[in-house]
Structures are given as structure tokens and as C-alpha cells.
Structure 1
Amino acid sequence: MLVHPKDEMRQLAARNKSRILFHRAKAVFPDGTTRVTVERDPFPIYIQGGEGAHLLDVDGNRFLDLNNNFTTLIHGHAFAPVCDAVSKLLHSGTCFANPTEHEIALAELLTARIPAMERVRFVNSGTEAVMFAIKAARAFTGRHAIARIEGAYHGAYDWAEVGQNLVPGAEGWEPSAVAAPAYRGAPPSLAEEVHLLRFNDVNGLDERLGASRDRIACIVIDPMPSRAGLMHPEPTFIEALCKIARKYGILIISDEVLNLRQSYAGASARYGLTPDLITAGKIIGGGFPIGAIGGREEVMRVFGADHAKPLLPQGGTFSANPVSMVAGRVAMEAMTQEAFNRLEEMGDRLRSGLKAIIARYDADFSVTGAASLFRIHPKRRAPIEFRDAYQGACEAAVMRGLSSHFLEMGILLPMGAAACLSTAMVDSDIDLILEAFDAFLALEVRS
């Protein structure tokens, strides 16, 4: 879908203050931003504030937010119970070298809800959580290599990054992808220590894991890989993964930094995955920085220092800081089973509505996701693995056009990432999303 030059000029004028701020930012940041995930078309939208399901930018434009800081804000913006609790806490201090009762309260909540979390440690981000989970698996097994799913995102730890940016070759995909470091200058040895698996590929599991079974400490898996396509895990794949991992003494790490929002007990419980370790973040911080590593008590003992130096020392100046602990506890307490049920009902209605619109236009689109998450693909068949979800240049251009169209209708739809709902949303918000998608496909058909 092409944007008319007059429409483009009008869009730029409506975001003039954002344009000016981006000009300032380029003088102090390497590319004008501090996160590679910040979208720009041609510059970022700078935010003045948020309330509930909506954002207000510096130019006064109001948007329905389907990003929610990459699925973090499950209650939307400025959730009153969190704001009140944090405001009260600030008068007694923000961080200490000593522990506080607040970290115990959040840990008690998480271990009571999530079957895989018998014990837990807090860190400051999802990246840290995955990093320390991998280290814990190494410390427990004495092995150094890992396995992970093609195309999935697990943060910025060197080993976790390998295989997240695969692209097909000139003749298409290789049957088994060759692992490669994610950035220039990374040690080439990383490729020898990371083994790539294809999501939902039952037949390839035993072959790939068995060949290096004495070297692999863990399998890192997002039960519904978000950046890789937000695909449903096949029950046979989950069953085979658990069986083969147990056979070879390989630990399973369920990365639920994003997908913990799939149910009251998380994503692994939803899909029948039985991990040894689980990572969490985003929604458990109530809008503040957080990460958590949980798991079987036996495995989590690698962090313990009851009698001697721990097998795996883990610290962090802001780990378990009171602000994140209090905000997280309050946010999670509000996520009752009823709250999860309501989000799922809205998500089901939205995904069903999107699919019905696609069918009505007989369009080359599909929808994936579950619970409060969804993703639209410029593919006639819904992907079942990363290779299916990979977008070529033409498909990526279509999705940029979709995001631009949504923006014109007052909706922030993330490009190349999972979109999400929040408890602050109402039925009319779902109606607006469906209306925007219907209008987009109508324009596609005419063009």
C-alpha cells in the first residue's frame, strides 16, 4: 500500500515535535535512540505519557497501545494500585544493600502460582534472567553447550543470541541451520557451543540433541516463540522435547519473560512443558525493571552459599530492589484468574474477528497467538515454525504499510513483534482494531 505524498506530509506535520526531539537525540545517541527495537518511520514517536490502554505523544496525538512496552504493561499505563504503592514506598527509600520483606512477598506469590518455580532469584532484566538460567544449567550439569530454537529471541547474552537472526540462502533454507554469532567480533567458538533446533520439528530433535548429548547443558525454549512468529507449540513436539531431554540429562529452560502472561500459572503449565528452570520478567515488575530465574530446588541450589562458595555466584546492585518488588507484587495480585480469563476472552474475540475479515477478503494473511497475544502475518497459511514466519522484503513492506495504516487510525501496532492486550482495554478497543484491519484489507484489494 503506497502512501500519497500529501498524506505523508500531513503525517509529518502531525508529529513535528517528535521530529525535533529526534534531531536533538541524534546529537547524543549513536543512532538517535537507546534501543534497537525503537521503531522509526522516519523518526520515532516520542511519548508524553500514558493512561490505561492509551498513549499521548508530545504532539498531542492519542493512540491505542498494542505494544505496552513489548508486552510488559499487562494493566496498561499508570495503573493506579501500582502508582499508589510505589509513591508510598519512595518516601522510605528506593534501594538498599540489605534485603527487604518486599522481595519475599513477590517470591511467595510467584512460587505459589507457577509449578516450575520451587525457588527463585531476582535480577534486573529478562536478558539477565536467561543468562543466569543458562549459567545455572552449566553449573548443575558440568556441561557448557546449549540448544535453542531457530529465530527465537532470548535477550542479549552472547550464547542466547546465536541463531536469532537466521536468513535463507540464495537457494532457500538449509535442512539444518548453521549456528553463527549474532554480531561482528563475537567469538567464532560460539557457533560450536550452540545447537539450533526447529520449532515443532519432532523428527529432528533426537538427531540434533543426541549427536552432542554429552556436551549440551540445556535447551532454551520459549513455549510460544514471540519474535519467531508467535506459533502454537504442537503437543507432540513438547512431549518429545521433554522425553529426549530427560533421556540425555539435558535441562529444559522455559523462557517466559514474555509468555508468562499466557495464564495464571504461565506458559509452560498451559502447554504441558515441564521445565527444570524458568525465566520471567516484564509483567512481574509492574512496569519497573525486573527479571527472575526460578526452578527445581535441586537445580537452584547452585546459587546457594549456605556452607561454602556457591557453584554460581549471582549478584546485582539493583536486583530485588524494593520498587520493582512492590510494583510487581501489586500488579500480579491484580492479575487474578478472572483477570486472565477476561483477557483471554478479548484475545479470542480479536483473533477470531481478524480471521473472519481475512476470510471475507480471501486475503494472503493469517493470525497466530493465544491468550492476550496476537500477531498478523502476510502469509496465507499460519506459520508453525520460524522459517514459515520469515518475511521477505515484499512481505516486510506490507507489514510496514499495515502499521502505518493502524497509526493513522490511532493505534500503535508493533512491527515484527507480538501485539498484546491489557486489562485496561474494553470491547470498543477490540472493535477499533478490527475496523482498522478491515479498512486496510479493503485498500489492499483495491490497490
Structure 2
Amino acid sequence: MTGTEGHNSIGRASREAFERSRRVFVDGTTRVTIERDPIPRYAARGAGAYLFDLDGRRFLDLNGNFTTLIHGHGFAPVISAVTSQLRSGTCFANPTLAEIDLAELICGRVPGVETIRFVNTGSEAVMFAIKAARAFTGRASIAKIEGAYHGAYDWVEVSQSSTPDDWGPESDPASVPYYRGMPASVLDQVVPLRFNDAARVEQRIAEHAHRLAAIVVDPMPSRAGLIAPTPEFVAAIQRAAARHGIVLIADEVLSFRQGFEGASARHGLKPDLFTFGKIIGGGLPIGAIAGHREVMKVFDASGGRPLLPQGGTFSANPLSMVAGLASMTALDQAAFDHLETLGDRLRTQLGSVIARHRAPFSVSGVASLFRIHPKATLPRDFREATPSAAEAHVMKELTRSFAEAGIVLPVGAAACLSTPMTTGDIDLVASAFNDFLATRTDLIESLAA
């Protein structure tokens, strides 16, 4: 297979588009997260729960632009809000009422969010949350969960993609660079923690408490396995942060879709700061830092230069604000109940398919998120969730099989549901998984080898 042939679910128009893109992009795309086999599928449009490629093929979209599109594609209230705002202006050097409206909605919904500040991306939100913790505590270092993804900021990229070859002992995870040339000083300022290691986490935080400004936690880290936190781990993190005066940051850029009040409320975490993104923008670029007023005061410029200056030409731009407000207003309790019902149905059906075939698979996730693991026992953390070469091959073939069945399934990350999906869509996913296990026994046997 050459670099531009692609798997048979990739059509001719996508191949031709990729040939053009290679002339202007070094690897043919502008996002490393774009999935390719070995070339990407180019999107032409989306409608509800479905994505249509350049060749007119229809796919049930379980990616949703990396979990952003909780209402699917072309959500009418968002289209209406953005269309109206376009006529009034796309951006200003002045605040607008739309940013107050969206801020009031989020502050009124999420326990512990007293004030909020909008930025442009989830990465930017995490970056400024960490800077806020530094400004508040006067310390520089952070602790983060091994394998967890928090965007493109050097400190949170440490140990994001470590492997058995370099991740170090279980009791003392190594700080592993994410890219060649990452400064050694960055590695020295990050303390990796193992997820769900309640017995060790408090001791490890205490050992470094004198220099820690923040503990950054995704309540249910997607790329680290989409594993639920144990109550003991949540309590241990909470105690350690409070005891040592460390700012606890909950990164809910992805996991905010776990419930009406978000993931922290669902899992009993009470952070000092939150970061949001994805679903709060209704499909447009957005990010937000939020939390206790005492910590958020580091941004206060009313009396002159703040402890932490933060601007941004497109921060709180009115298009993202009105799109986010339309999306979040529609995400009422009934919408979350619908997603919870669909998610429970799918995870139950996938579990039944696994049991029927006695296949070495397991399923993690809550609410509208799920992930299939090529492991008989459900992983408890990033190290256990990391696939072997054989397991990675099986998951690639599963993704191909789903594509042939007209379903987009992300590789190595959380898959998601959206509000326009129906029980028929759920049954389609379960049926495609059943067909894969029934017909690819050679692959399933390779997992047991």
C-alpha cells in the first residue's frame, strides 16, 4: 500500500485531496491528531449524527471532532445564533452581552465555579490555569497524571506518551519528554502521578509539596484509558491538595460532557480551578478557566497590572459565545438523561457481545463516552491500558471494520455519542462489533497468543 492509496473505506476524492495537501503541508495535514489509514478521510459535510466524506459516503460519527459536537453536526440553534451574530459583527475589541450570558450559565450550573474567564482553546485554558496556580502560590512546579492529555503546553505534555521502555518504576514514574529538545528544566518541574494509585499518591505529593503550585487532574482521562477514578483516589488527591496548599485543577475540557454539572461533580472531586472547552463552544473554538474567586483574582486588572495578565485577540469572541450559549442551553437535564440512556445501552450491548464470543475485550466509559479495550480485564490506569503491538494491531483492524460498516470509531481515544443519535444507531455499533468478533477470529486468537 502506497502513501496515497489508503484503506478501501477511503474514497478517490479523499485520495486526490491528500495529493494536493502534501504540496502545502509537511505531512499532508495541519493536526497531528488527524487519523489516517494511511491517509485521512476528508469531510464534505455533517448532518446530525452523521458525517459525509468527499465521495458522498455516510458514516455514523463516534468522533464528533474529538468529542466536541455533543449535538452532532449542523445543530439548528447554533446555526441560527451564529448566523444572526455574523450580521452584527464577528469580533470586537470590546466586551459583549453574549459573554456574560454564557458565563452566567456555566457559573450557575457547575458547583465550585464562582467566576470564569474565556480563552480560545482547551490548551490555552490549561496553560492559564497552571499560570494562575503559580501566581496564587508563588511556586513553579506541577503534578499531573501519567499518560493524561491536557493539550499543547510543555509542562502538561511531560509523560503524556511514555512507554514501558521509559516510564520508570511504578512507585516513582519518570518525567518523560514528549518531543525532542523539550527543556530539561520543564522535566524537572513535573511530578508524574499514577492514576488510581491512592496508596502512593499522597506520599508522592507530600515529597514535592514545597514546590508544587498545582495538581492537574482529568477526572476520567480519555487517552490514559477512559478509566473511572476510584473514590479512594479522589479523596487522596483532595486531601493532599488541601493539606499542602496546592491548587487542584480539574481539566474538564473533554470530560465536562459526563453530566449536567460536569465530571468533577459526578466523581466527587472539588477542585479549586476548572478548565473547559469543546462542548461549551457549540462547535466553535473556545476554552475557559473557572473556579473559586479567591484563586481567580490573580487575573484581576481593575486596580492596575494583575498578578497574571491574560488577553487574547479572539478570547470571548461573540461567535463562540453565542454558539456556546445555544449549545449549552439545549444541554438540559433531559438531554443528558437521553445521552446517559444511550451510553448505558451501548456499553451493555458491547459487554454482551464480548461475553457471547468469550473475547478478550472490555469496555470503559460513562454517560456519552466509551472506549473498547483489547484486554480481558478492564485496565485501572494508563500503564494497564497501554496496548501491546498485537493489541494495537487488533484495534486498527477494528477501526477499519467499523469504517466498512459506515461508522467512524476513533483509534486509541474516547468515542462519543451525540444527542441526535437513536437506539437504532446504538444497535448498529453493537452489530458491527459483533460482526468483527465473529469474522476475525484470527485476530482474536492473536490476543491470547
* Same fold, TM-score > 0.5, yes or no: yes
Match of 2:240 among 240, 244, 248: 244
CA distance in 2, matches of 1:106, 1:93: 18
Instruction: Tell whether the 8 Å contact from 1:180 to 1:188 is kept in structure 2 after alignment.
Output: no
Match of 1:384 among 374, 380, 383: 380
CA distance in 2, matches of 1:181, 1:217: 20
Aligned runs of 1:212-291 on 2, under 5 Å? Answer: 212-291=208-287
Match of 1:40 among 36, 43, 51: 36
CA distance in 1, matches of 2:312, 2:442: 56
SS, match of residue 253 in structure 1? strand
TM-aligned CA deviation for residue 104 of structure 1: 0.2
Match of 2:67 among 64, 71, 88: 71
CA distance in 2, matches of 1:62, 1:445: 28
TM-aligned CA deviation for residue 308 of structure 1: 2.3
Range with bigger deviation, 172-181 or 219-228: 172-181
Q: Which residue of structure 1 lines up, in the alignment, with residue 295 of structure 2?
A: 299
Partner deviation per Cα, 1:330-359 (whole Å, 9 max, x = no partner): 000000001001100100010011011101
Q: 1:441 to 1:173 in 2, by over 3 A?
A: farther
Instruction: Tell whether the 8 Å contact from 1:304 to 1:310 is kept in structure 2 after alignment.
Output: yes
Q: Which residue of structure 2 lines up, in the alignment, with residue 323 of structure 1?
A: 319
CA distance in 2, matches of 1:64, 1:134: 37
Aligned runs of 1:50-89 on 2, under 5 Å? Answer: 50-89=46-85
Are 2:153 and 1:157 equivalent residues in the alignment?
Answer: yes
Aligned runs of 1:152-231 on 2, under 5 Å? Answer: 152-169=148-165, 174-231=170-227
Q: Which residue of structure 2 lines up, in the alignment, with residue 117 of structure 1?
A: 113
Range with bigger deviation, 13-22 or 24-33: 13-22
Please report the RMSD computed on the Cα atoms of aligned residues, expressed in angstroms. 1.6
Structure 2 counterpart of 1:125, which letter?
T
Q: 1:17 to 1:262 in 2, by over 3 A?
A: same
TM-aligned CA deviation for residue 36 of structure 1: 0.3
Question: Which consecutive aligned stretches of 4+ in structure 1 deviate over 6 angstroms post-superposition?
Answer: none
Q: Which residue of structure 2 lines up, in the alignment, with residue 374 of structure 1?
A: 370
User: What TM-score, normalized by structure 1, do the two folds share?
Assistant: 0.96
Structure 1 counterpart of 2:391, which letter?
E
Partner deviation per Cα, 1:348-405 (whole Å, 9 max, x = no partner): 0100110111011111100000000000000001111000100121111100000000
TM-aligned CA deviation for residue 240 of structure 1: 1.1
CA distance in 2, matches of 1:444, 1:216: 49
Structure 2 counterpart of 1:283, which letter?
I
TM-aligned CA deviation for residue 180 of structure 1: 2.2
Q: Which residue of structure 2 lines up, in the alignment, with residue 18 of structure 1?
A: 14
CA distance in 2, matches of 1:378, 1:14: 25
CA distance in 2, matches of 1:146, 1:370: 28
Instruction: Tell whether the 8 Å contact from 1:168 to 1:174 is kept in structure 2 after alignment.
Output: no
CA distance in 2, matches of 1:288, 1:314: 21
Structure 2 counterpart of 1:236, which letter?
E
Q: 1:139 to 1:359 in 2, by over 3 A?
A: same
Range with bigger deviation, 164-173 or 226-235: 164-173
Match of 1:445 among 432, 441, 448: 441
TM-aligned CA deviation for residue 170 of structure 1: 8.5
User: What TM-score, normalized by structure 2, do the two folds share?
Assistant: 0.96
TM-aligned CA deviation for residue 88 of structure 1: 1.1
TM-aligned CA deviation for residue 10 of structure 1: 10
Aligned length in residues: 441
TM-aligned CA deviation for residue 181 of structure 1: 2.2
Instruction: Tell whether the 8 Å contact from 1:256 to 1:266 is kept in structure 2 after alignment.
Output: yes
Q: Which runs of 5+ in 2 are unaligned?
A: 444-449
CA distance in 2, matches of 1:98, 1:22: 40
Structure 2 counterpart of 1:331, which letter?
S
CA distance in 1, matches of 2:347, 2:365: 8
Q: Which residue of structure 1 lines up, in the alignment, with residue 127 of structure 2?
A: 131
TM-aligned CA deviation for residue 444 of structure 1: 2.6
Partner deviation per Cα, 1:189-220 (whole Å, 9 max, x = no partner): 11110001000001111221111111000100
Are 2:137 and 1:141 equivalent residues in the alignment?
Answer: yes
Q: Which residue of structure 2 lines up, in the alignment, with residue 428 of structure 1?
A: 424
Instruction: Tell whether the 8 Å contact from 1:180 to 1:190 is kept in structure 2 after alignment.
Output: no
TM-aligned CA deviation for residue 319 of structure 1: 0.2
Q: 1:51 to 1:251 in 2, by over 3 A?
A: same
